[in-house]
Structure 1
């Protein structure tokens, strides 16, 4: 996985450039790829005559980090609980050393968990959200260098026709080939903008054909399936549980109306991946809030009426869930969290008994 801000400094260094906007006809055969099109439909965040957005893509590193939190916290407990009450108070230098070691272990092992819980409360944007503005023929997104995590995201606006799509293959993972969009200085060829869509679960050529069809073609040419695309309003994100439910139900295993169906399956799967779904829900929640940025609102001219794209309307249950008032959703997630905490405590006690 490439984590630098720029994969290339000069346009000649791009890996595999493909057709630029409006330069050639769109290969419609790519839109017949059922599996990839279904995936893109599930990932659509908003779609209307003015703008299209996808859910932020997630790397495996997030799941690795979550696993590290559990493992590290577990190691911290089992290695410290037995010793914390055996401090040698009569030996001051040894006591100071033991306390220092415990503090160091806490910082190393429990900091990720503390930061994760802090993120749930703070709800700060992590993943970048891109807005493909059809009427404006622009792409708007928020950018921040990876290492400047304390710096706020800056709004960037790119002319769609200036984009150069490229298939960048990670040299360390040949199976990972995301779609990257670049804008270069016409005189020097230096990369001035880099848009990383970062979705490795779909053929990047299909994804680019989908985007081009939306931006360059009539409505009826875009393969949008109403059973996958739901009309969740951009400004209703009060409940972390409801946002986590959206991510959880995109698999298609469970009912998508927040009605409380499929409870047993939710408990079985949800109890295993609670932090993962909550983390994704948190990112979805913060990405939705980003659209309220005043500079973005100026670019979104759709009045919210008569959407020509087939979108499944939001249900009454989902509306309540987004307001945090759907008791079935809230109770389910609280129970799943309690199951996780109970299993974790049991594991610690069983190991130390």
Structure 2
């Protein structure tokens, strides 16, 4: 209850506050959870003496399924309604000119409604605009930097926020409609009023939030040797500076162990089978990786950094020559594979449409 009494009002609304930075010793037994630690190693974007970043959690499967259902249901419903109107027009004796103009109007309306989400998605692939927030834990300065923009102000640019790590209050946030959903949330409150001034949503439901918080605390409060980093899982992927959407899409399969990290071209069959079914979802997630902004490029954050990029005490697996070519868009094995996967995916969709209307 002490944590709930630290501030006056709104901080008491937190569901389940846990230990704050430097208040208690870190429970190292939490870091022995092999599955959770492997997951965190795979999600790390950068780890070095001065800053740690995770690739933000992203429910790409949810959005992909919603998009697929939208396209399919809209197309089939529109086709069904169009067949009815088309039949009624002939039976009603409408002129050929009227039928022609109606068909043109119907096709234009169908294209605008059905293809607008796809056009926006393709525009996102080109524009590479960030969708999710990424958080940067600055060890040397004991701060957390992140970009923030209210969800409803999507036209507003992201604003840089920097908070003191020692002021963070971690909380296991439970969704009232799903008691099993407990991601780690970090709050900062005004000590005078108790008003919450910052809310950092790590939102990774695939890992024990207490393990995630112990991992973050170990990085921020302990020597490098205490952080359970395994180079077998944690690799130096330049995803946000990559010129290749296909190379970023490969990250999905490398994390699952389906593809080797050196881009040697092995295990292609499984990628073809899975990717050919959900190619759009893979590319959507790849775009998410590719457009994740690096807050360290902001001048105000650069001033906080001291590391020169050399002598990293954390065991990060360096990127291979094949991977460099892939991220530069010059690895023909990666490019040809994904072009074929996309063509197969389009072929399957066309086949489904033709089979439905035959």
TM-score (norm 1): 0.90
Deviation at 1:175, TM superposition (A): 1.8
Q: Are residues 1:313 and 2:314 paired?
A: no
Deviation at 1:253, TM superposition (A): 2.3
Deviation at 1:117, TM superposition (A): 1.4
Q: For the structure 1 residues 333 and 210, does the alpha-carbon distance in structure 2 shift closer, same or farther, using more than 3 Å as the test?
A: same
Deviation at 1:352, TM superposition (A): 1.8
CA distance in 2, matches of 1:179, 1:254: 30
Structure with bigger gyration radius: 2
Q: For the structure 1 residues 152 and 205, does the alpha-carbon distance in structure 2 shift closer, same or farther, using more than 3 Å as the test?
A: same
Q: For the structure 1 residues 297 and 285, does the alpha-carbon distance in structure 2 shift closer, same or farther, using more than 3 Å as the test?
A: farther
* Alignment partner of 1:279 out of 284, 288, 299: 284
* Alignment partner of 2:344 out of 297, 314, 339: 339
Comparing 237-246 with 297-306, which one deviates more in the overlay? Answer: 297-306
Comparing 19-28 with 171-180, which one deviates more in the overlay? Answer: 171-180
- The number of residues matched between the two structures is 345
Stretches of structure 2 that go unaligned for 5 or more consecutive residues are 1-8
Q: Are residues 1:35 and 2:47 paired?
A: no
Q: How does 1:201-240 map to 2 (within 5 A)?
A: 201-233=206-238, 236-240=241-245
Comparing 107-116 with 143-152, which one deviates more in the overlay? Answer: 107-116
**Maintained 8 Å contact 1:45/1:54:** yes
What residue number does 2:53 align with?
Answer: 53
Q: For the structure 1 residues 81 and 307, does the alpha-carbon distance in structure 2 shift closer, same or farther, using more than 3 Å as the test?
A: farther
Q: For the structure 1 residues 97 and 233, does the alpha-carbon distance in structure 2 shift closer, same or farther, using more than 3 Å as the test?
A: closer
Secondary structure at 1:26's aligned position in 2? coil
Stretches of structure 1 that go unaligned for 5 or more consecutive residues are 1-8
Q: Are residues 1:63 and 2:68 paired?
A: no
What residue number does 1:297 align with?
Answer: 302
Comparing 311-320 with 271-280, which one deviates more in the overlay? Answer: 271-280
What residue number does 1:44 align with?
Answer: 44
Q: For the structure 1 residues 181 and 93, does the alpha-carbon distance in structure 2 shift closer, same or farther, using more than 3 Å as the test?
A: farther
Deviation at 1:79, TM superposition (A): 4.0
* Alignment partner of 2:139 out of 117, 134, 137: 134
Q: For the structure 1 residues 107 and 138, does the alpha-carbon distance in structure 2 shift closer, same or farther, using more than 3 Å as the test?
A: same
**Maintained 8 Å contact 2:231/2:315:** yes
* Alignment partner of 1:328 out of 329, 333, 336: 333
What residue number does 1:25 align with?
Answer: 25
**Maintained 8 Å contact 1:143/1:155:** yes
CA distance in 2, matches of 1:347, 1:78: 14
Deviation readout 1:101-159 (Å, 9 max, x if unpaired): 65554444332222211111111000111111101111111111111111111111111
Between Structure 1 and Structure 2, the one with more helix by share is 2
TM-score (norm 2): 0.89
Deviation at 1:35, TM superposition (A): 0.5
**Maintained 8 Å contact 2:55/2:134:** yes
CA distance in 2, matches of 1:81, 1:257: 51
Comparing 279-288 with 315-324, which one deviates more in the overlay? Answer: 279-288
CA distance in 2, matches of 1:330, 1:296: 35
CA distance in 2, matches of 1:288, 1:261: 31
**Maintained 8 Å contact 1:21/1:160:** yes
The root-mean-square deviation of aligned C-alpha atoms, in Å, is: 2.5
Deviation at 1:93, TM superposition (A): 8.3
CA distance in 2, matches of 1:28, 1:213: 9
